[in-house]
Chain A
Amino acid sequence: MALTYTSREQIEVYRFSLPVTLIVPLMAIFLQVFLPLRLPFFAIFDLPLLVVIFFAMARRSQVAGLVTGAAIGLLQDSLVGAHHPLGLYGIAKTVVGYGASSLGVKLDVESVGTRFLVVIGFDVIHELIYFLIARGMVRLNMHWNWGHELESAFANAILAVFLFALMDRLKDRA
């Protein structure tokens, strides 16, 4: 697993066509709400989070990253249920989108090892932010379980390696 720093000159910025920008997040959200019905273990994954990280790292624009994160997060919030306030996923994914795009500027995020570690880190950050807001502000009765969170982070990171390789084909050089 090689982590390599890149200079500003080496950074490649990618962009995505409008259909890809719209369809991929919607598809991720659709699969996230549909697949756990047939495959209950799938609830451990967070496809919308992986899409946010991927788009943010590829575009390498912090504003684009946070806007993508906020939009996908709010859409996910709105599908979770009426008892779940809008904004919990929104805030967590906004921060992840911003952080992933900031990291994308500084690291070579094309390598498998970097992607694996970055996804683990952002998954934990995402869950932590969600937990803190849900517990501290919304007063939801939640419990933090390190074992489960790490398990979930690893599962997402493994999925991300394959998913990102697939989604690399959708990138256009800016």
Chain B
Amino acid sequence: MGRYRNVSFLAAAIFLQILGLAVQVKSPNENHPARLIRVWAVSAITPFEKGLVRVQSGASDLWHNYFYLRGVRQENRELRDQIEQLQIEQVRMKQDADQAHRLQSLLGFKEQFIAKTLAAQVIGSSGSEQSRTVTIDRGWDDGIRSDMAVISATGVVGKVISVFKNTAQVLLINDQQSGVGTILEQSRLQGVLKGKSSGELVIDKIMVDEEVKPGDRVLTSGGDQIFPKGLIIGNVDRIEKGPEFLQVTVRPTAALNRLEEVLVILKKEERDPALTATHVRASDILAERLPSVPDKPPVPTNAAGAATTAHAPLSPHVAHVQPVTASSEIPGQVKSTSAPVSGVAKPVSANPSNATGAVVGTKPATTSSTQTSKPAPKQPAPGTSKPIADSPSTQSQPSNPGDTPQ
């Protein structure tokens, strides 16, 4: 028996581990709390990782912020120029976005937006080529939960797969177990993005007769219910034709092998497309808040002209012209496009589901449509109504928190 002692030990050790594997394969614990050994291992290792990352970033900050400031003035000048250019570009893009929102609103689309994010630092990796995960320094106590999307400033990173008290593990999109619903920006083809053992990203299940071009942007489609729609993943790198499907290789925009800081999407919300340019008169808001305000008194003949003038911007024509002049310098003023939109937005109010589904940010749209649907009873006296140009009450509403991180 002593002769086979060592082999018996080996057989027993392997048998026990295979048994453990079989149990795990039989009942995958995706929604169960992490196994104790994982908690212990992570608790033992992560404090050192956190400490080392802090020391490293502290030293790096000290060097870059206090000692190595060569060329900062020049860079500052360049950045100022760049900001000016971007502000001009932003005005143009804002108008495009508003137009898109108006169209979406007309078609009754819902849009998903990122309502809350949390910045986290990457403190560790799986250390294995078979598994591409990273550890971040935020966990359950910070509000992180499984299946939350993780992004960086440059693109999609992955999703949270396990959460510990103060840390969490993120499965990168180039892991073989990962799958992200994608859409190609140009061709609007949808597919599932997966990782390969080499760490490359591929989209499969695109029919061979479809046309895909290298360089096409790849975005999230939102179909996986994890990543909000429209986040950039990368660009098409190359296309290989298979017998049935194309093999589209994607180059990620996020530096997946050099991640330092990421954003965890804590909260997504769905809303009707925000009609950012919605115009609501102060008097209408007052009338809504105070139902006891008497109905609009009969307008004297000579005052009718004034009232008409006050309401004139509701005409889509005028409204469309106004933002162009008003917003050419200050991007924030582009919101004054709302005036025209409130008139256009009427169909939205006709849809009760849309109205109820709207979040705070969409309230002005609902209000304005209410106003347009029953103008007579709530019409204030012309003297009290503010001209459209003076209606920053809606414009100055706090911007949606979701807009900030994006």
Contacts and interface: CB of A to CB of B under 8 A. Distances in A.
B41 A75 contact: yes
Contact of A130 (B37, B130, B257, B258): B130
Given A36-B127, A81-B162, A87 B9 contact: no
A62 B13 CA distance: 12
Given A37-B124, A83-B177, A141-B176, A78 B37 contact: yes
Interface string A29-63: 11011111100100110000000000000000011
A82 B127 contact: no
A81 B126 contact: yes
B161 interface: yes
A158 to B, nearest CB: 17
A119 interface: no
Nearest to A148: B198
Nearest to A82: B162
B91 to A, nearest CB: 40
B340 to A, nearest CB: 51
Interface string A77-104: 0111111111110110011001000000
B257 A78 contact: no
Indicate the size class of the contact surface on chain A.
35 or more
Given A43-B128, A82-B161, A90 B25 contact: no
A21 B134 CA distance: 27
Interface stretch (A6-14, A107-115, A132-140, A165-173): A132-140
Given A70-B17, A94-B14, A95-B14, A81 B124 contact: no
A143 B49 contact: no
Interface in B4-33: 5-6, 9-10, 13-14, 17-18, 20-22, 24-25, 29-30
Interface in B142-188: 161-162, 169, 171, 175-177
A81 B127 contact: no
Contact of B35 (A44, A86, A143): A86
A87 B35 CA distance: 13
Contact of A32 (B9, B127, B130): B127
A26 interface: yes
A63 B6 CA distance: 6
B14, B30, B49 pick with most chain A CB within 10 angstroms: B14
A80 B128 contact: yes
Given A78-B41, A87-B17, A94-B17, A137 B22 contact: yes
- The contact size tier of chain B is 35 or more
B259 A37 contact: yes
B38 interface: yes
A66 interface: yes
Given A79-B45, A85-B24, A34 B124 contact: yes
Contact of A33 (B126, B162, B177, B197): B126
B133 interface: yes
A39 to B, nearest CB: 10
Nearest to A74: B37
Contacts of B122: 37
Given A33-B49, A37-B134, A143 B196 contact: yes
Given A30-B49, A87-B17, A82 B34 contact: yes
Contacts of B129: 43-44, 152
Contact of B21 (A62, A81, A82, A86): A86
B6 A138 contact: no
B49 A34 contact: yes
Nearest to A102: B6
Interface of B: 5-6, 9-10, 13-14, 17-18, 20-22, 24-25, 29-30, 34-35, 37-38, 40-42, 44-45, 48-49, 52, 122-131, 133-135, 161-162, 169, 171, 175-177, 196-198, 257-259
Closest 9 CB pairs of A and B: A32-B127, A82-B162, A78-B41, A81-B133, A40-B257, A62-B6, A33-B127, A87-B21, A87-B17
